[in-house]
Amino acid sequence: MKFFALFIYRPVATILISLAITLCGVLGFRLLPVAPLPQVDFPVIMVSASLPGASPETMASSVATPLERSLGRIAGVNEMTSSSSLGSTRIILEFNFNRDINGAARDVQAA
Q: What does the DSSP 8-state code read for residue 61?
A: I
Q: How many domains does the chain have?
A: 2
Same domain, 16 and 61: no
User: Which tens digit of pLDDT belongs to each residue from 75-93?
Assistant: 888 899 999 888 899 999 9
- Cα distances from 20 to residues 23, 24, 26, in angstroms, run 5, 6, 10
Asked if 42 and 58 count as a contact pair (C-beta separation under 8 A), the reply is no
Percentage with pLDDT > 90 across the chain: 25
Q: What's the half-sphere exposure (Cβ side, CA atoms, 13 Å) at 100?
A: 4
Same domain, 27 and 56: no
Same domain, 96 and 68: yes
Asked if 74 and 103 count as a contact pair (C-beta separation under 8 A), the reply is no
Instruction: Quote the pLDDT of residue 15.
Output: 93
Please indicate, yes or no, if residue 38 is contained in any of the structural domains. Answer: no
CATH of the domain at 91: 3.30.70.1430
Strands (E), the chain: 44-50, 77-85, 88-95
Instruction: Quote the pLDDT of residue 1.
Output: 65
Band of residue 27 on the pLDDT scale cut at 50, 70, 90: very high
pLDDT at 20 over 90: yes
Q: Domain range for residue 12?
A: 2-31
Instruction: Quote the pLDDT of residue 104.
Output: 87
Q: What does the DSSP 8-state code read for residue 21?
A: H
Q: What does the DSSP 8-state code read for residue 41?
A: -
User: Which tens digit of pLDDT belongs to each residue from 39-77?
Assistant: 778 889 999 988 888 888 888 888 888 988 888 888 888
Same domain, 26 and 59: no
Same domain, 52 and 27: no
